Amino acid sequence: MFTKILIANRGEIACRVIKTAKKMGIQTVAVYSDADKYARHVRLADEAVHLGPAPSRESYLVIDKIIAACKQAGAQAVHPGYGFLSENTEFARRVEEEGIVFIGPKHASIAAMGDKIASKQLALAARVNTIPGYNAAIDTAEQAVEIARGIGYPVMIKASAGGGGKGLRVAFDDKQAFEGFTSCRNEARNSFGDDRVFIEKYVEEPRHIEIQVLGDSYGHIVYLWERECSIQRRHQKVIEEAPSPFISEATRRAMGEQAVQLARAVKYQSAGTVEFVVGKDQSFYFLEMNTRLQVEHPVTEGITGLDLVEMMIRVAAGERIFLTQEDIRRDGWAMECRINAEDPFRGFLPSTGRLVKFAPPVETWTASGEVPEDGGVRVDTGVVDGGEIPMYYDSMIAKLVVKGRDRADAIAKMRAALNAFAIRGISSNIPFQAALLAHPKFVAGDFNTGFIAEQYPKGFSAAAAFDTEAVQADLMLLRALAAVAHRIHLDRSARITGQLPGHELIIKPDSIVITTDGQGNPESVPVSVVPDNDSFRVTLGGVCYAIEFDTPLREVVIHGRIDGQPFCAQIERIDLIYRVIYNGLQLDAKVRSLLAAQLSALMPFKAPPDLSRFLLSPMPGLLVDVTVKPGQKVLAGEKLAVIEAMKMENILLATQDAVVAEVKAAKGESLAVDQVIIRFE
C-alpha cells in the first residue's frame, strides 16, 4: 500500500479523497493555485505544493507541474479526482512513465473510453446498444448542419472530450445547430484543450441512468447498481439518487451486464461509470463512459456501504476485488443535491465572492465512515465559513447527501437538511432544490431529463413554481414565523431598563404582515400573536398555529415546533425586514403595528431607475467578447457580449432594437455584478 499520495484536484473532491486516505493511514499532498492558497483542501492535507496562477490552464491543467509536484513531495501515486486532468490520456500515460501510480484506469482504457467518439465505435463493436449518430469529428459549422439534417432533428452536439454539461448543446433546427457547434468547440477548447465535436440523435423524453462499475488488474469486474441522474438543468445534474424509481429489475440487470461487458472490452481497472439514455419503454442506449470517479458517487456508497475512493486506491496498489456480484448489496435509498454558487432567481447566473456564513446541517454520516443503519446526512464540501468562491472554477460548493429507508424517507430527510443549510454572502440554488423535492411529479418519480425545462419554462420563482394549496399554506406559515420573530424582538425591547415611567413599551397582539407578490404589489395580512406559556398562539388568514422556538434568534437556522411537530427554518432580521426561508420558499416581510401600517400605506411610491438604456453584467466574470461598436444598430435577440464565469460561456443578447452609444467595458476586463458594459442611445 502507498504511504503518500498526491491529489491533482481542488475543492470538494480533493477533501473527499483526503478523508479516505487518512482513514487508510496514507499521507496526502494537496496542490493549489493562487486562488486556492487558503482553501480547505490545502488545510486538510499533510502538505501542499503551489502550482501557479488562478486560471486552471496555468495551474491544475499543467501536466508538467503536477508531475513535478509529485516528485517534489515524494508521492508514490496520484488521484486525479474528477474534471481537470482526470480523463486526460496524456496525463495518465506521463504519470505511468514517470514511475508514479495513477489511481484510476490505465491510459489505454482512458483513450478508448474517455474519448466519446472512440467509445461509441468500441461500444458498437462490443454489441452494446448505441444511439444513431455521426461518430467522427466534425470540422465546420456548415458540415454540422448538414449532418444534423441527415440524422433528423432534434440532435445533440457534443464535445468529444466534454463532461459536466460543458461542450454540449441540443439543436432543434439549422440555426441552433450552427450556433451550437461553434459554442461547443469554444467551450471544449477552453475547458479541455480538445475542440473535436460530434453529433448524435437526441432521444426525446429520455432518462439519464448510469451504472457504476469497478474492476481490478486481475480481470474481475462488477457493477454497483445504478444511479438515476435525470434531474438536470442545461445538461448538468442537479439531483441524483440510487436506485432509480423507474427501471425494472430486468432492465437493471441488463444494463449492469452490458456495462460490465463494455468495461471488460477495454480491460478496465478502477472505478468507472457507464452512462445510458433510457426511453420511456425502458429501451436503453449507451451514451458514454466516464473513466473516473463521478461527482455523484456518494449515492452508490449510500446503498452499497462501500467506500469507492478506498476501492480505487486498493485496486491501484494491485489488490484484488474479492466481491462477487451477489455480494453487492442494495440497501435503502440515497439521494444527493448539488449545492451550487448560482442565483436561481436570476436565471441561475453564477455567484462568486465571500461566504459570509456557511453552516451546513449536522453530519450523521461521513464520507469515509460507515453508513448508519437508519440513514443519515452527509455533506461533502471544499469550502469553509468565511471562505472565497473564486470565478475561475465550477460553481459547486457542496454536495448534500442523505440515506433513507425508502425514497419517501430520503426525500423527507433531504428537505429537512436543506432547511437547515444556511449560506450567506453569495447566492445558492438551495431554494430551487427544495422546490424540486416538493414537486408532485418528482415525488411520484414521474420525470425525465427535460423535467426542469418543462416545469419552469419561464425560469424559477419559488412562490410561483407550482401554485398549489400546499405552497399557499407554507406562505401563510412563513408570515406566522415572521410575526413570532417580531414579537420576540418587541419582548426584548420591552425589557430594556431605563424606560420613562408611564411611557413603557406596550405590546399589542394585533399587527399587519406586509409582503409583496410576484409583480411587486404589496400584500397585507392581519395577524394576532399571543404568548401562551413557552409558545405563541398565532392567528392569521383564518388559521391558528402554536409556534415555539428552541433556538435564539441570533442564530440564522431556527429549530422549534409548530402545533407540536418539529420544524427547521431560517429567519433573519435585515433592517426592518424579516427574511424567512422554509421548504424552498423565501419571504421578505415587514411586521407593523396597525397604526404604522396605515401610515406606511400613505407613503409615496418611489419608481426604480430606468435601466433599459444599459447592458449590465448579470454576474461577476470575464468579458470574453464585445460584438458591437458605437453607432451600430442592433436588433432584439442579437448577440452583444460574451461573459465567461465558472468555466461556462454566457451570451448576452439585446432585448430590444437599439443603437449603441458607448461601449463602457473592454474585452478581457473582469466585471462585477451590474457593471455597465454598453450604453444605448
Per-residue pLDDT of 162-176, as tens digits, reads 766 678 899 999 999
Average the pLDDT over 475-480 and give the result.
Answer: 93
Sketch the domain layout of the chain as residue ranges: 4-103, 113-455, 471-496+505-600, 614-680
Say what angle helices 141-151 and 174-192 make with each other, to 10 degrees.
120
Burial 633-643 (b: 16+ CB within 10 A, else e): ebeeeeebbbb
pTM score: 0.83
Fold entry, domain 4-103: Rossmann fold (3.40.50)
Q: Which residues are catalytic?
A: 288
pLDDT at position 350 is 84
Instruction: List the grid coordinates of 318.
Output: 494491485
pLDDT at position 159 is 87
3.30.565.10, 3.40.50.150, 3.40.50.10490, 2.40.50.100: CATH of 614-680: 2.40.50.100
Could you give the percent of the chain with pLDDT greater than 70?
98
How many CB atoms are closer than 10 A to CB 249? 8
Average the pLDDT over 397-409 and give the result.
Answer: 97
pLDDT band at 486 (very low <50, low <70, confident <90, very high): very high
pLDDT at position 22 is 97
The answer to whether 102 and 85 are in contact (CB under 8 A) is: no
The residue assigned the cell 486552471 is: 56
Average the pLDDT over 104-117 and give the result.
Answer: 87
Average the pLDDT over 134-160 and give the result.
Answer: 90
Burial of 517 (0-12, 13-18, 19+ CB in 10 A): exposed
Mind giving me the DSSP string for 267-325? T--EEEEEEEEE-TTS-EEEEEEE-S--TTHHHHHHHH---HHHHHHHHHTT------G
Distance CA 219, CA 269 (A): 8
Fold entry, domain 113-455: D-amino Acid Aminotransferase; Chain A, domain 1 (3.30.470)
pLDDT digits 0-9 by tens, 4-32? 999 999 999 999 999 999 999 999 999 99
The reply to whether CATH 3.30.200.20 applies to domain 471-496+505-600 is no
- The DSSP symbol for 666 reads -
pLDDT band at 468 (very low <50, low <70, confident <90, very high): low
pLDDT digits 0-9 by tens, 446-467? 999 999 999 888 888 755 554 5
* Identical fold, 4-103 and 614-680: no
